[in-house]
Amino acid sequence: MTTGPAMLDDVVDESPQRCEGFTDGRPCGVPASLLRADEDGRGWCWNHAPDPATRAAHKVAAARGGLAARARARRGLDPDELGPLKTVADAMRWSESIARATAAGQLSAAQANSAIRAVQQWCSAHDLHVRMTRLTQLEREVQRLKGMGVP
Protein backbone atom coordinates (compact mmCIF):
# COMPACT_ATOMS: atom_id res chain seq x y z
CA MET A 1 0.00 0.00 0.00
CA THR A 2 1.36 3.34 -1.00
CA THR A 3 1.03 6.54 0.91
CA GLY A 4 1.26 9.87 -0.84
CA PRO A 5 -0.12 11.05 -4.18
CA ALA A 6 -2.07 8.59 -6.28
CA MET A 7 -0.30 7.12 -9.28
CA LEU A 8 -1.71 7.83 -12.75
CA ASP A 9 -2.78 4.20 -13.09
CA ASP A 10 -4.86 4.54 -9.92
CA VAL A 11 -6.88 7.49 -11.29
CA VAL A 12 -10.02 6.48 -13.13
CA ASP A 13 -11.37 9.07 -15.51
CA GLU A 14 -15.15 8.94 -15.34
CA SER A 15 -15.73 11.45 -18.14
CA PRO A 16 -16.91 10.13 -21.51
CA GLN A 17 -14.15 9.83 -24.10
CA ARG A 18 -16.24 10.41 -27.23
CA CYS A 19 -19.76 11.19 -28.29
CA GLU A 20 -22.07 8.19 -28.50
CA GLY A 21 -23.53 9.53 -31.76
CA PHE A 22 -22.57 8.73 -35.32
CA THR A 23 -22.18 10.91 -38.40
CA ASP A 24 -22.25 9.24 -41.82
CA GLY A 25 -21.79 5.84 -40.15
CA ARG A 26 -18.65 6.89 -38.31
CA PRO A 27 -18.31 7.78 -34.63
CA CYS A 28 -18.74 11.46 -33.91
CA GLY A 29 -15.42 13.28 -33.72
CA VAL A 30 -16.33 15.96 -31.17
CA PRO A 31 -13.59 16.25 -28.53
CA ALA A 32 -14.32 14.90 -25.07
CA SER A 33 -14.01 18.40 -23.61
CA LEU A 34 -17.23 19.39 -25.42
CA LEU A 35 -19.33 16.42 -24.35
CA ARG A 36 -22.15 16.42 -21.82
CA ALA A 37 -22.79 13.26 -19.84
CA ASP A 38 -26.33 11.92 -19.57
CA GLU A 39 -27.73 10.22 -16.47
CA ASP A 40 -26.07 6.94 -17.51
CA GLY A 41 -22.66 8.59 -17.84
CA ARG A 42 -22.60 8.36 -21.64
CA GLY A 43 -21.22 11.40 -23.45
CA TRP A 44 -23.11 13.31 -26.10
CA CYS A 45 -22.24 16.30 -28.20
CA TRP A 46 -24.71 19.11 -28.86
CA ASN A 47 -25.82 17.62 -32.19
CA HIS A 48 -26.35 14.04 -31.03
CA ALA A 49 -27.81 14.54 -27.54
CA PRO A 50 -30.95 12.39 -27.24
CA ASP A 51 -32.45 14.59 -24.51
CA PRO A 52 -35.55 16.37 -25.96
CA ALA A 53 -34.79 19.60 -24.08
CA THR A 54 -31.27 19.73 -25.50
CA ARG A 55 -32.57 18.98 -29.02
CA ALA A 56 -35.14 21.78 -28.72
CA ALA A 57 -32.48 24.21 -27.47
CA HIS A 58 -30.27 23.16 -30.39
CA LYS A 59 -33.03 23.96 -32.90
CA VAL A 60 -33.67 27.36 -31.33
CA ALA A 61 -29.95 28.20 -31.33
CA ALA A 62 -29.59 27.08 -34.96
CA ALA A 63 -32.53 29.24 -36.00
CA ARG A 64 -31.11 32.24 -34.15
CA GLY A 65 -27.71 31.64 -35.73
CA GLY A 66 -29.29 31.61 -39.16
CA LEU A 67 -31.13 34.83 -38.46
CA ALA A 68 -27.96 36.47 -37.24
CA ALA A 69 -26.02 35.30 -40.27
CA ARG A 70 -28.68 36.67 -42.60
CA ALA A 71 -28.69 39.94 -40.69
CA ARG A 72 -24.90 40.20 -41.08
CA ALA A 73 -25.03 39.38 -44.78
CA ARG A 74 -24.55 42.48 -46.84
CA ARG A 75 -27.27 42.93 -49.38
CA GLY A 76 -25.23 44.94 -51.84
CA LEU A 77 -26.34 47.94 -53.81
CA ASP A 78 -29.77 48.46 -55.29
CA PRO A 79 -29.45 48.48 -59.10
CA ASP A 80 -32.07 51.22 -59.29
CA GLU A 81 -29.91 53.43 -57.07
CA LEU A 82 -26.85 52.81 -59.26
CA GLY A 83 -28.67 53.74 -62.44
CA PRO A 84 -27.62 52.73 -65.93
CA LEU A 85 -24.05 52.03 -66.98
CA LYS A 86 -23.94 53.47 -70.51
CA THR A 87 -21.45 56.31 -70.38
CA VAL A 88 -18.07 57.05 -68.85
CA ALA A 89 -19.85 59.44 -66.47
CA ASP A 90 -22.07 56.52 -65.39
CA ALA A 91 -18.96 54.41 -64.73
CA MET A 92 -17.52 57.18 -62.59
CA ARG A 93 -20.81 57.46 -60.66
CA TRP A 94 -20.87 53.69 -60.14
CA SER A 95 -17.26 53.71 -58.87
CA GLU A 96 -18.06 56.47 -56.42
CA SER A 97 -21.18 54.65 -55.18
CA ILE A 98 -19.21 51.43 -54.72
CA ALA A 99 -16.46 53.24 -52.81
CA ARG A 100 -18.94 54.99 -50.52
CA ALA A 101 -20.92 51.78 -49.88
CA THR A 102 -17.72 49.91 -49.05
CA ALA A 103 -16.53 52.62 -46.68
CA ALA A 104 -19.94 52.61 -44.96
CA GLY A 105 -19.91 48.81 -44.55
CA GLN A 106 -22.80 48.24 -46.95
CA LEU A 107 -20.55 46.16 -49.23
CA SER A 108 -17.97 43.57 -48.24
CA ALA A 109 -14.49 43.78 -49.74
CA ALA A 110 -15.31 40.83 -52.02
CA GLN A 111 -18.52 42.48 -53.22
CA ALA A 112 -16.72 45.78 -53.81
CA ASN A 113 -13.90 44.07 -55.71
CA SER A 114 -16.40 42.25 -57.92
CA ALA A 115 -18.37 45.41 -58.61
CA ILE A 116 -15.29 47.50 -59.38
CA ARG A 117 -13.98 44.73 -61.63
CA ALA A 118 -17.30 44.78 -63.52
CA VAL A 119 -16.99 48.57 -63.98
CA GLN A 120 -13.40 48.13 -65.17
CA GLN A 121 -14.50 45.49 -67.67
CA TRP A 122 -17.25 47.80 -68.91
CA CYS A 123 -14.72 50.63 -69.31
CA SER A 124 -12.39 48.35 -71.28
CA ALA A 125 -15.18 47.21 -73.56
CA HIS A 126 -16.39 50.81 -74.00
CA ASP A 127 -12.86 51.98 -74.81
CA LEU A 128 -12.46 49.20 -77.40
CA HIS A 129 -15.81 50.13 -78.96
CA VAL A 130 -14.84 53.81 -79.18
CA ARG A 131 -11.46 52.95 -80.75
CA MET A 132 -12.98 50.55 -83.25
CA THR A 133 -15.63 53.11 -84.24
CA ARG A 134 -12.97 55.78 -84.71
CA LEU A 135 -10.76 53.39 -86.71
CA THR A 136 -13.68 52.56 -89.01
CA GLN A 137 -14.36 56.29 -89.52
CA LEU A 138 -10.69 56.94 -90.34
CA GLU A 139 -10.58 54.02 -92.80
CA ARG A 140 -13.66 55.41 -94.58
CA GLU A 141 -12.08 58.85 -94.70
CA VAL A 142 -8.88 57.39 -96.20
CA GLN A 143 -10.93 55.56 -98.85
CA ARG A 144 -12.87 58.74 -99.64
CA LEU A 145 -9.69 60.77 -100.03
CA LYS A 146 -8.11 58.10 -102.22
CA GLY A 147 -11.23 58.19 -104.39
CA MET A 148 -10.71 61.93 -104.83
CA GLY A 149 -7.12 61.37 -105.95
CA VAL A 150 -5.49 62.64 -102.77
CA PRO A 151 -2.28 60.67 -102.17
Tens digits of residue pLDDT in 10-66: 444 555 577 777 777 788 888 878 888 777 777 778 778 877 877 788 778 777 776
Q: Please tell me the total count of domains within the chain.
A: 2
Angle at CA 104, nearest 5°, toward 98 and 110? 55
Q: From residue 38, how far is each of 51, 55, 76 by CA, in Å?
A: 8, 13, 46
CA neighbours closer than 13 Å in the CB half-sphere of residue 77: 24
Q: Give the range of the structural domain holding residue 117, as residue numbers without chain letter.
A: 79-147
Task: Determine, yes or no, domain membership for 109.
Answer: yes
pLDDT of residue 40: 78
Q: For residues 14 and 120, what is the distance between their CA atoms, to the nearest angstrom?
A: 63
Residue 145 has pLDDT above 90, yes or no: yes
Answer yes or no: do 39 and 91 share one domain.
no
Tens-place pLDDT, residues 111-140: 999 999 999 999 999 999 999 999 999 999
Q: pLDDT value at position 139?
A: 96
Same-domain check for residues 112 and 130:
yes
